[in-house]
Amino acid sequence: MFFINHKEIEHGKAAIVEIEGPLNSESGSDFEDYTRKLIDNDTLFILIDFKKLSFISSEGIGAALMLHKRLSTKDGTAVFCNLNSEVTALFRILGLNRIFTIADNISEALEMIETGIPGNEPFVEEKTESPEYNELTGKNTGISSITLPEPELADSDEPLQFNDDFEFIEEDIIDPFVIECLKCGSLVRIKEKGDHICPFCEAEFNVSDDGKALFKID
């Protein structure tokens, strides 16, 4: 079951959005509709709290990308916080850590949002080569540091491809393979063909020579 609610801050200029449950093909449209209404009401700085997120599928990632696109076109910002280790690793694999603004917790996210609100401290445009540099605040906050789980997830930073509607393009995947688990909807990156187990739900599957995954689901 999926729940979503929000709390307005900064006189409606910003909002903290809490979600609970899976963000997938069933709940993605609800998430898009909810955040679109906030943007239509001139809320342009949105904090997304993932603390109670159970898992996120490719459709859920597409919804998050759509939110990022809508806010960017209006000079707004979405900040994602309280990511668990699985979501953190998934964002790293897809290259989303270089697209999204990510904070460790609500306090950091609030500081980042307040920085971007008109009338508050202006953005700093100068960039740095530091891996912990945050483009929103112009500060080395350390919020980009990531530890990847092993061994199921590889350490590649090569982002996967999405079409203009932010739908996952599986046919563009090259070795190593990234597939979506048919049981839990999580994206799993594997290094070789053969028998595997989803690290999130322990579903068994086999990857053939042509890169197709066959799941063994009871």
> Along the chain (218 residues), what's the average pLDDT of each consecutive run of 10 residues?
91 92 92 95 94 91 93 93 91 88 93 71 36 45 34 37 50 52 76 76 79 74
**What local confidence, expressed as pLDDT, does residue 139 receive?**
44
Alpha carbons 204 and 19: distance in angstroms, whole number: 29
Would you say residue 155 lies in a domain?
no
Alpha-carbon 49 to chain mean position: 11
Would you say residue 17 lies in a domain?
yes
**What local confidence, expressed as pLDDT, does residue 162 receive?**
52
Given a contact cutoff of 8 angstroms between Cβ atoms, the answer to whether 24 and 55 are in contact is: yes
Would you say residue 94 lies in a domain?
yes
Are residues 189 and 134 both part of a single domain? no
Number of neighbouring beta carbons within 10 Å of residue 148: 17
The model's pTM is 0.58
DSSP characters over 107-152: HHHHHHHHHHSTTSSPP-----S-TTEETTTTEE-STT-----TTT
Are residues 8 and 100 both part of a single domain? yes
Given a contact cutoff of 8 angstroms between Cβ atoms, the answer to whether 45 and 17 are in contact is: no
Are residues 134 and 212 both part of a single domain? no
Are residues 25 and 104 both part of a single domain? yes
Give the domain CATH number at 92: 3.30.750.24
Helix (H, G, I), strand (E, B) or coil at 66: helix
Burial of 34 (0-12, 13-18, 19+ CB in 10 A): middle
Are residues 92 and 193 both part of a single domain? no
Would you say residue 152 lies in a domain?
no
**What local confidence, expressed as pLDDT, does residue 132 receive?**
45
Alpha carbons 185 and 180: distance in angstroms, whole number: 6
Spell out the residues 6+ positions from residue 56 whose beta carbon is closer than 8 angstroms to its own: 22, 23, 24, 64, 87, 90, 185, 186
Would you say residue 55 lies in a domain?
yes
Domain region containing 47: 3-122+129-140
Would you say residue 59 lies in a domain?
yes
Given a contact cutoff of 8 angstroms between Cβ atoms, the answer to whether 12 and 43 are in contact is: yes
Number of domains in the chain: 2
Number of neighbouring beta carbons within 10 Å of residue 183: 17
Would you say residue 158 lies in a domain?
no
Are residues 101 and 47 both part of a single domain? yes
Would you say residue 27 lies in a domain?
yes
Give the domain CATH number at 204: 2.20.28
To 10 degrees, the CA torsion angle through 6, 12, 15, 18? 0
Are residues 180 and 115 both part of a single domain? no
To 10 degrees, the CA torsion angle through 126, 128, 133, 134? 20
Are residues 110 and 181 both part of a single domain? no
Helix (H, G, I), strand (E, B) or coil at 15: strand
Are residues 22 and 118 both part of a single domain? yes
